[in-house]
Amino acid sequence: MTDFAVWAPLPKLVRLDVDGTVHDMTADDDGWWRASVDCAADARYGFLLDDDPAVLPDPRSPRQPDGVHERSQLWDPTAAHWTDQQWNGRSIEGAVIYELHTGTFTAAGTFDAAIDKLDYLVDLGVDFVELMPVNAFNGAHGWGYDGVLWYAVHEPYGGPDGLVRLIDACHARGLGVLIDAVFNHLGPSGNYLPQFGPYLSAVSNPWGEGVNLAGPDADEVRRYIIDCALRWMREFHADGLRLDAVHALVDNTAIHILEEMAAETDALSAELGRPLSLIAESDLNDPRLITPRDHGGYGLTAQWDDDIHHAIHTAVSGERQGYYADFGSMSALATTLRNGYFHAGTYSSFRHRRHGRPLDKSLIPATRLMAYTCTHDQVGNRAVGDRPSQNLDHGQLAIKAALALGSPYTAMLFMGEEWASSRPFQFFSSHPEPELARATADGRKAEFADHGWDAAEIPDPQDPQTFLRSKLDWAEVSDSEHARMLGFYRDLIALRHSEPAMANPWLTHLAVEYDEEQRWIVMRRGPIAIACNLGTEDVDVPAAGEPVLGWGGIAAETDTTRLAGHSVAVLRTT
C-alpha cells in the first residue's frame, strides 16, 4: 500500500486519482487529507477538489514527467542508486563556487551532459557546483525562477534520476553541489497551490504574489518551504542551497523563516554527519543574516554580496548607470574590499535613503560574504545579456578576477567567465501559452525601453534563438586567448588554495592602498600583494617582490613595481 496525503484546507471534498481510478480521502482536523492505495511504484496520480473534474498535481509532487499541468508520478528516493558513501562534505566558507545553468552549460542541456564537464571543473580548481533552479517550471527551457512545483525536478534536464547521477558524479570527484531554491514567489503558469490552501499572501514582490509566511495558516506554508529545502539536502544529497532574493520573504513573526530553516538545516547536518550550507541572496546589506544565532542573527552560512561586484565592476569598466551610481571610485572599491559592504548605514543615491548596516569584523569572517565578477543576474539582467568579456579587454578581466579570487571572501564564478566566453547569457523563456508568451516578451522590451533602449534591440525571450545564443561554446576553450585567460584563472585558484596567507578569513588582516588619480590599487594579504593598474597609463605601484602571477606589462623595481595599463601582478613581498 502507498500512503497519499495532501494539505487542502480550502475545498470541502478531496479525492485521489491514481492511474485513472478515483479513491476517497479522509480529512483530518488540521486540513490534511489521506488515503492508502495499492498501486504501482511509478503510478501517476493527482487530486480532485470538490466537483472540479480537473486532476491537479500534488503540491509536494516528487516527479512531473509530463509537465507541471499534468499528473504527478511516484518516485522513491530510497531506491536511487548512490555511490557517494565516502563523501564527507565541506562548508562553502572560503571555497570557490561555480554557478551554472544546466540548460546552457552544454549543447545537450542535461544533467548527464554536465557530468561530462566535471573533470574540466576539477582541473579548474573549483570546490562546488551551484545549479541554477532545477525545480519544475512550465515550458522546456527557462532560467527556472518561475517554478511552481518546488519538490519536483525539471524533466527536460533529466528529472530526479538525472539529478541523482549528477550529484553522485560530483561527489565522486570531490565537488560539492549547491542548488538554487526559490521560495519567495511562484511562477505564472501551473501554480495550483491557491486551490488547495492559503499559500499566498496579499504582499506582492516584483515577480508576483508573495508567499504566506505570517498570516493565518502560515505554519503549514512554512513547513512546506522548510521540508522542500531539507528534501534537496537529504534525498538528493545536495551540500546546501542558494536562497533566492530572501529580502522578498516578508515575515514579521518572532522567529524569521530563515532562522527556522537555518536551525533545521544545522540539525540535519548533525544527523547526516556532513556540513550543509545556506547562502542568501539579499540586497539588504543586513549582517543579521550571517550572524550566528547565539549572537542574535539568523545563522545562515553566507550571502551573495553585490556591493563587492558593483565596486569591482564599476571601477574597472567605468559604468555608472542605475544602482552603480555610488560606485566607480577607487575609494569605493577600497572601502568595500575592507569592510564587506559599501553601503553600511550610508546614503544610497539609487534608493534615496540610508542603506545597510556595518559588518562586525571581529565576529563575522569575510568567508560569509561572496565575491564575484559575474552572476546570472549581473549578466542576464542587462538589456542584451552581454558579459564583461564582450565589453572589456582581457587585462581588465584579469584585474577583476584577481580582486575577486584574491580577496578573503568566498569566491564564485559564473560559467564561462574563466575563459572569457564570448557568448551572452540572455533572459529566455518558453511559455507555451500564447498570451503569457506575448506578455513576457512585451514586458521585457518595455522594461528596457523605459531606460532608453530601442525595443528592437532587446532579445525576445520566447525566441528559441535567444536560448541557443546563451549556450556556452566549448570550442573557445582551446583558442589561444581564451586558453590564456583560463590558465590565469586556474593559477589564481591554485594560489588561493595553496598559499597559507590567502586562507586568513578576517578582514582585520586585509590591507588596501590605492591612488584615485593614477587608478591603481594594492590588496595585501600577509606576504601576498595583489597590485592592479585600472588605468591606461604606466604606473609605479608601491609594492615590490617576486612576481608569482600576472597579466600585462610588469617590471619589478627595488621598492616598486611598474605596471602597464590594465595590468595586474600578484607579488610575494619580502
Confidence band, pLDDT 50/70/90 cuts, at residue 95: very high
Per cent of the chain over pLDDT 90 is 93
Whether the CA torsion 232, 233, 236, 242 is positive or negative: it is: positive
Catalytic residue among 244, 286, 377, 476: 244
Confidence band, pLDDT 50/70/90 cuts, at residue 327: very high
User: Is the pLDDT assigned to residue 204 strictly greater than 80?
Assistant: no
Task: Determine the average pLDDT of the residues in 234-254.
Answer: 97
Task: Determine the average pLDDT of the residues in 68-91.
Answer: 96
Predicted local confidence at residue 50, as pLDDT: 98
119 is catalytic: no
Catalytic residue among 281, 305, 417, 460: 281
Vertex 488, ends 485 and 493: CA angle to 5°? 130
User: How many helices and strands in the chain, by DSSP H and E?
Assistant: 14, 29
**Residue 377: strand, helix, or coil:** helix
Task: Determine the average pLDDT of the residues in 319-333.
Answer: 94
**How far, CA to CA in Å, does 229 sit from each of 72, 77, 89, 109, 268?**
20, 15, 17, 24, 11
User: Is the pLDDT assigned to residue 111 strictly greater than 80?
Assistant: yes
Q: Which segments of 85-220 are extended strands (E)?
A: 96-100, 128-131, 135-136, 149-153, 176-181, 200-205, 208-211
Please report where in the chains the cell 608569482 appears, as a residue.
548
The rounded mean pLDDT for the chain is: 96
DSSP state of 56: B
Per cent of the chain over pLDDT 70 is 100
Task: Determine the average pLDDT of the residues in 324-335.
Answer: 97
Backbone conformation region of residue 437, classed left if phi is above 0, alpha if psi is from -120 to 50, else beta: alpha
Between CA 92 and CA 89 the distance in angstroms is: 10
281 is catalytic: yes
Predicted local confidence at residue 448, as pLDDT: 85
Predicted local confidence at residue 328, as pLDDT: 97
Whether the CA torsion 552, 470, 162, 94 is positive or negative: it is: positive
Please report which residue ranges of 273-375 form alpha helices under DSSP H.
306-317, 330-339
Confidence band, pLDDT 50/70/90 cuts, at residue 574: confident
Predicted local confidence at residue 322, as pLDDT: 87
Task: Determine the average pLDDT of the residues in 308-337.
Answer: 96
Grid cell of 20 as nine digits? 485513472
Q: Is 209 exposed, middle or buried (0-12, 13-18, 19+ CB in 10 A)?
A: middle
Predicted local confidence at residue 375, as pLDDT: 97
Confidence band, pLDDT 50/70/90 cuts, at residue 456: confident
Between CA 250 and CA 260 the distance in angstroms is: 14
Count the neighbouring beta carbons within 10 Å of the beta carbon of residue 267. 12
Q: pLDDT tens, 58-72?
A: 999 999 999 999 999
H or E element, residue 554: strand 554-556
User: Is the pLDDT assigned to residue 449 strictly greater than 80?
Assistant: no
Predicted local confidence at residue 202, as pLDDT: 84
Contact in structure between 311 and 342 (CB atoms under 8 Å): yes
Task: Determine the average pLDDT of the residues in 40-51.
Answer: 97
Contact in structure between 349 and 368 (CB atoms under 8 Å): no
Predicted local confidence at residue 447, as pLDDT: 80
Residue 264's contacts (CB-CB under 8 Å, 6 or more residues apart) are 226, 229, 230
For 93, list phi and psi in degrees, rounded to 5: -60, 120
Count the neighbouring beta carbons within 10 Å of the beta carbon of residue 418. 28
Task: Determine the average pLDDT of the residues in 39-48.
Answer: 98
Task: Determine the average pLDDT of the residues in 496-516.
Answer: 97
Between CA 310 and CA 303 the distance in angstroms is: 15
Residue 78's contacts (CB-CB under 8 Å, 6 or more residues apart) are none
Task: Determine the average pLDDT of the residues in 199-223.
Answer: 91
User: Which amino acid type is present at position 201?
Assistant: S
Predicted local confidence at residue 443, as pLDDT: 86
Between CA 300 and CA 368 the distance in angstroms is: 9
User: Is the pLDDT assigned to residue 209 strictly greater than 90?
Assistant: no
User: Is the pLDDT assigned to residue 516 strictly greater than 80?
Assistant: yes
Vertex 384, ends 379 and 389: CA angle to 5°? 50
User: Is the pLDDT assigned to residue 445 strictly greater than 90?
Assistant: no
Q: pLDDT tens, 348-386?
A: 999 999 999 999 999 999 999 999 999 999 999 999 999
User: Is the pLDDT assigned to residue 203 strictly greater than 90?
Assistant: no
Q: In what order do the strands lie in the sheet with 510-515?
A: 510-515, 520-525, 528-533, 567-572, 546-551
The CA dihedral of 131, 136, 141, 144, to the nearest 10 degrees, is -50
Please report which residue ranges of 106-234 form alpha helices under DSSP H.
111-115, 118-124, 159-172, 193-196, 218-234
